Structure 1
């Protein structure tokens, strides 16, 4: 095959994925609009949780659906199959559920450049002078919205190809278990790396890429390809977690759209922070003792050199994942597409 022909195939592959992602976005918008109309018939308050989900769904990067669709198409799936759009949309709703609940657990005030669901509704409660505790009200709305996203994800999965359902059964418990492990690590506040790494695998390593890829390939009737791509998906997904940690600790909220440094005050021990505490015991005191600012903690974190180590780890994981593609039974255009997706996921800036 000539270089020109290979480039044309790669462009067609990218455009096919992009077209399907537009269909996923439209499916989410139309599904949530229909649910809003139904809820509005029940009571005006019943639309609040649906509106929260619709607002979040409108601004997401659709990373997990993109991996699902790529796995499906790389396995020879028919892009006109409506069920794969539902499968990808279900993945995004499951992700929204974890985001809404995770923002409550993390104490994050913003999400995708806007107030997090719990923060928005706490403010509304307070400014309107309603009865009860504003914080609990906001967190209650977020719990309901996250639960509703989980229910809706199952509803959309009912229309997905049969082959995608095995991975779905594995994915949902991991989505719930990961945040608990985050809580446990924060409560112990230990610098030992085993629990943070397991948390990273459950919250990013498997959910971000491996499970979505496997769902797509299995939906196309290629569970063998799902197995072949598993090491790639896990490595790329695991690489996205230290990127999250770096953006959380050092990113600009105006650019990332999320609260800066929420992990510090709640004692969340990420792999980044755990390794930094192993090198500098004073970091633990800076985090636990009152009166220290996030800027002080960031400066101390940088002095340990762990951020450079994290970048090296990300590069190693990306290389490891992409090396798997060389032996995977994939058409060249999909090998190139997955390589590009690995780079985008690992080196994003928000």
Structure 2
């Protein structure tokens, strides 16, 4: 049974976020809440209905999240000499979090995910509001339209936050936006394809999340410290394997994660037909009988609990799950070996090491 499989041993014990993440998360959340409250007041004076998307964005921002991207940016910037009290640094951290908010809101809409962080996703919440207030037209269309606009609002605010950053930081931020957009397009097209190669699945993992979560935020942090050109290669050697490990862990949680921890339905990626590296490996390693089972169930949005469990059992039985855990371990080791080559303060080096451990062992 899955409970007896040692590949899932890491799921037995909750891994707490280290202080290096929690402290930055609290500061970013506080600043974002203050900013959005001010925006709510400013726009409500013009028209009370302007408050709708801003309220939705504010609720999303304070609903949780690890704020990994701001933390990776902060510890790189400060570890390379930036002033921790510089308002430009804080606004950049806020921008990275708002950009992530935009991506999550639109991702939930594209995936038709009803839940995010244990609460109704933005499009679901607006659709519910439509039904409760008996508004005209389609509740689904209203929910989808408002979610797009709330996501776009987060995107616009994110851009606004980096206005005063130096030119190199803004260039890197622009590249980050392109990479995550194109990576997401690969993910969407892959979900509708009849199959995918392992190389394509790896590229999706790298561009949809890997570079976006660790490498580019660290590059931006280095740029804010005027240390980008001196540190680019060293940052990449640390960040790329760690970013890949982050996404591979995410892929495992999308199939095997526990709902009370991930705050999403069990087996969400199986219902959505996500063509991840885990799925690609399982298809490559499975028997003909297992492939028949897989093809009959994978990507069905009405999968029952027992059908999800059958797919989980198949994936674990092929050895793909164990192979993924081994790959994550190898990527983490590569990243830790590269950490010593980064020119950082000792405090920042310790913080990034703690964050790396959390990224690969987290349960949500």
TM-score (norm 1): 0.90
- The answer to whether 1:24 aligns with 2:28 is yes
Task: Give the match for residue 297 of structure 2.
Answer: 286
Report the CA distance between 1:73 and its aligned residue: 1.0
The CA deviation string for residues 291-317 of structure 1, in whole angstroms up to 9 with x for no partner, is 763222222222222111111111111
The CA deviation string for residues 157-214 of structure 1, in whole angstroms up to 9 with x for no partner, is 1133444212111111122222211111112131411222111111221110100011
Task: Give the match for residue 35 of structure 1.
Answer: 39
Task: Give the match for residue 343 of structure 2.
Answer: 329
Q: Quick one: structure 1 residues 338 and 134, their matched pair in 2 at CA, closer, same or farther if it must change by over 3 Å? A: same
Aligned mates of 2:182, 2:155 — CA distance in 1 = 14
Report the CA distance between 1:20 and its aligned residue: 4.8
Aligned mates of 2:51, 2:303 — CA distance in 1 = 42
Give the SS at the match of 1:343.
helix
The CA deviation string for residues 217-271 of structure 1, in whole angstroms up to 9 with x for no partner, is 1101101123321121111111111111111111121221123322223322111
Aligned mates of 2:52, 2:119 — CA distance in 1 = 16
Task: Give the match for residue 66 of structure 2.
Answer: 61
Contact persistence 2:183–2:208 (CA under 8 A): yes
Give the SS at the match of 1:268.
coil
Task: Give the match for residue 345 of structure 1.
Answer: 359
Q: Quick one: structure 1 residues 73 and 169, their matched pair in 2 at CA, closer, same or farther if it must change by over 3 Å? A: same
Contact persistence 1:109–1:119 (CA under 8 A): yes
Aligned mates of 1:313, 1:171 — CA distance in 2 = 25
Aligned mates of 1:346, 1:230 — CA distance in 2 = 17
Task: Give the match for residue 48 of structure 1.
Answer: 52
Aligned mates of 2:103, 2:31 — CA distance in 1 = 20
Aligned mates of 1:41, 1:195 — CA distance in 2 = 49
TM-score (norm 2): 0.87
Aligned mates of 1:234, 1:186 — CA distance in 2 = 24
- Residue 271 of structure 1 is aligned with which of 274, 277, 296? 277
- 1:242-321 alignment runs, 5 A limit: 242-280=248-286, 281-282=291-292, 283-287=294-298, 293-321=307-335
- Residue 129 of structure 1 is aligned with which of 131, 134, 148? 134
Task: Give the match for residue 227 of structure 1.
Answer: 233
Aligned mates of 1:324, 1:90 — CA distance in 2 = 27
Give the SS at the match of 2:113.
coil
Task: Give the match for residue 4 of structure 1.
Answer: none
Give the SS at the match of 1:189.
coil
Contact persistence 2:238–2:336 (CA under 8 A): yes
Greater CA drift, 332-341 or 107-116: 332-341
Greater CA drift, 39-48 or 284-293: 284-293
* Runs of at least 5 residues in structure 1 that lack an aligned partner in the other structure: 1-13
Aligned mates of 2:348, 2:31 — CA distance in 1 = 25
Superposition RMSD in Å: 2.0
Contact persistence 2:70–2:96 (CA under 8 A): yes
- The answer to whether 1:181 aligns with 2:186 is yes
Contact persistence 2:181–2:208 (CA under 8 A): no
Aligned mates of 2:47, 2:184 — CA distance in 1 = 32
Contact persistence 1:277–1:284 (CA under 8 A): no
Greater CA drift, 275-284 or 105-114: 275-284
Report the CA distance between 1:337 and its aligned residue: 2.1
Task: Give the match for residue 199 of structure 2.
Answer: 194
The CA deviation string for residues 99-138 of structure 1, in whole angstroms up to 9 with x for no partner, is 0000011121111111111111122222332222222211
